[in-house]
Amino acid sequence: MELVSIGVSHKTADLSVIEALTFRDQKRALHNIFSLEPIVECILLQTCNRVQIFVATLDKEDATKALVNFLLKKAGVKAQDVEKALEIKTDDAISHLFRLASGLESMIVGEDQILGQVKDALKLAEEAKTVGIFLRAIFTKAIIIGKKVRQGTEINKGAVSVGSAAVELAEKFVGDLTSKNVLLIGAGEMATLVAKSLSEYKLAGIFVANRTYERGVKLAEELGGQAVKFEMVDDIMANSDIVISATAAPHVLITVDKARKILEKRKRPSQLLIIDIATPRDVDKEVGSLSGIKLFDIDGLREIAEENKRKREGEIHKVERIIAEDLKIFNKQLVRLHQAAPFLSALLSKAEETRMKELEKALRMFGSPTERERQIICDLTRVLSNRLLLGVINNLKMAADNGDIELIEYAAKLFDIDTKGGKLVEILRYRAGKGSGKSSH
């Protein structure tokens, strides 16, 4: 089994290209990727400046071709730009993931948010049932290394996030923020990072607008600011010095026409500074052409990102040494995991097949169970199966890690599982009925 990574990031693409590959429904995207013939497992990592797919495959060349075609089709009219910006990792894919989890591949080097995003990507793939033993092991190790480098180095000491970089950019453009009115649009993770940085300044006024008013109220209270209804955004913008937008909206919120109307209401002498750190954009890029507005987006943070990287050169070398040392050890563990993977996969496949067969029998005996009853029984059988196998799986993973192949072979005989017959890919594709046409309850 091999790891292939493909995607675009702030290093290879501008915001318009990243937007072209941003998936609104990530779980659906995972299922579509998983259905590609060469793909055995897959994980999607999507952030404000990155869209990256990680797959486990037995044929990295075919997998790469399939993924390139998939992404170019997704890109549509931007296909040519996307093709130029695609970053493909094969032999160095594991090392790249470890660097990524450690914060070395982030726009803001050393930022902590990427580690949580790697965890979330693994969790989403678990929920979508597109991840198995191989990718789970690699991502789990990446998370461990990400924590280790943050504890053992100062790579994240005083590290800024994209949110705090936006505030730094605002300060560079307008000067002292003390007397300024700031409008924050959004109350999610990115907006919270902005709020954390803003809390260090004594602003004249801070307003928070969010689609869900209650979330806006909560964030405004933490800031000592004021929450406003979303329909009041235009009026607040007209009286603001700085607007930072960081929502998860799938469409543009501030159009050119809306911006013109805001400028007509505006009575403040200075330009309105808008910093849009959302992906996809919250603000139409043409808004920046209006004479009374200065607009920055994610691409506008690159200068601050480079300055941040220069400050951390010494720590970067320390992190790279940790990654190199851990990678040597992990590669040996991976060889052993490969020896255990066919059996573990076949065991899980057999357990799931047995669970489904007995579940269907039980449901037929109920006659016409309600959807809630079906779900309760389904959940019960799944929990029982998982708990019964948990100890076995953990012990066999430990045996693989210790090179105890005899124990794995003995377990295969004990559970009456043949891992040598048939194609390995068919054994590995036990999840979600892939290759069997079955659906999972």
Catalytically annotated residues:
48
**Structural tokens at position 176:** 């002292």
Sign of CA dihedral 200, 201, 204, 209: negative
How far is Cα 283 from Cα 439, in angstroms, rounded to an integer?
Answer: 41
CB atoms within 10 A of CB 423: 10
Q: What is the DSSP string of 305-354?
A: HHHHHHHTHHHHHHHHHHHHHHHHHHHHHHHHHHHHHHHHHHHHHHHHHH
Do β-strands 226-228 and 242-245 pair in parallel, antiparallel, or remain unpaired? Answer: unpaired
CB atoms within 10 A of CB 72: 16
Q: Please state the separation of Cα 222 from the chain's center in Å.
A: 26
How far is Cα 416 from Cα 19, in angstroms, rounded to an integer?
Answer: 50
Residue 156: closest CA among 104, 112, 100: 112
